[in-house]
Amino acid sequence: MSLLATARFHTTVAALHQLPRDGLPEVAFVGRSNAGKSSAINLLCRRRRLAFSSRTPGRTQALNFFHVGPADRPVGELVDTPGYGFAAVPHATREAWQALAGRYLGSRVPLVGVVLVADVRRRLTDLDRRLVAFVAPGTPLVAALTKADKLNRQQGREALAAVLAELAALRGPGSPSHALLFSVLDGTGRDELAGVVENWLGGLAAGADADAEKKPRQPDGPGA
């Protein structure tokens, strides 16, 4: 089984002091409400309802953590952050988003990568640009441009190139940034994004461990 297919709910965090202390690497998923973030997480993990749409009441201002890896020995966390839509929400909600998700993205030490889910037809919006500014400069970021099935090939290529160029300009040369086209309808980009996330979480070694849980572990030694 692939590493991401082992994802299961771990915990919900509504305040920074509740963040897990287990030191596992974390990959965060961010995006405007309705961009397609829950659909993307569910496709990556090959699950129907692991992550819920940001319209689900009560989940809007919390970080939801999902363990990946063997049941008794998780190797990483996927973190679903509240969908944002600053322009449409009251000031108090925006402040709450910044106090939790904004500070998490900017200062969380175990955070090894950020997946920004954006509707390919809108490319990056002002809200996405503000989001990118929250992410610490050294944290790798990939933009998953979803709903790619709504554009033809040429339009998709143009949108991808424009977003890549914009991310490079926004983040600067020392900040790793990447972008890919994605679609839950036809699976475009699913394997590429899964590869990026699994690589951030520890690469093939972690995936191999998830597969190897039933085999006896060899003692470490020269050649191990």
Binding interface with ligand GDP (CB under 6 A): 31, 33-39, 53-54, 83, 146-147, 149-150, 183-185
Residue type, 58: G
Q: How far is the CB of 128 from ligand GDP (least distance, A)?
A: 12
Q: How far is the CB of 71 from ligand GDP (least distance, A)?
A: 26
Distant-in-sequence contacts of 53-60, Cβ < 8 A, 24+ apart: 54/82, 54/83, 59/12, 60/93
Closer residue to ligand GDP, CB minimum distance, 2 or 53: 53
Closer residue to ligand GDP, CB minimum distance, 24 or 37: 37
What is the spatial distance between Cα 100 and Cα 62, in angstroms, rounded to a whole number? 8
Closer residue to ligand GDP, CB minimum distance, 53 or 175: 53
Closer residue to ligand GDP, CB minimum distance, 187 or 203: 187
Closer residue to ligand GDP, CB minimum distance, 43 or 206: 43
Q: Render 68-136 in DSSP notation, one character per residue.
A: ES-TTS--EEEEEPPPB-GGGS-HHHHHHHIIIIIHHHHH-TTEEEEEEEEETTT-S-HHHHHHHHHS-
Q: Please tell me the number of Cα atoms within 13 Å of 141 on its side-chain side.
A: 32
Q: How far is the CB of 213 from ligand GDP (least distance, A)?
A: 31
Q: Nearest CA to 2 among 70, 57, 63?
A: 70
Q: How far is the CB of 21 from ligand GDP (least distance, A)?
A: 28
Q: How far is the CB of 22 from ligand GDP (least distance, A)?
A: 26
Strand partners, 146: 119
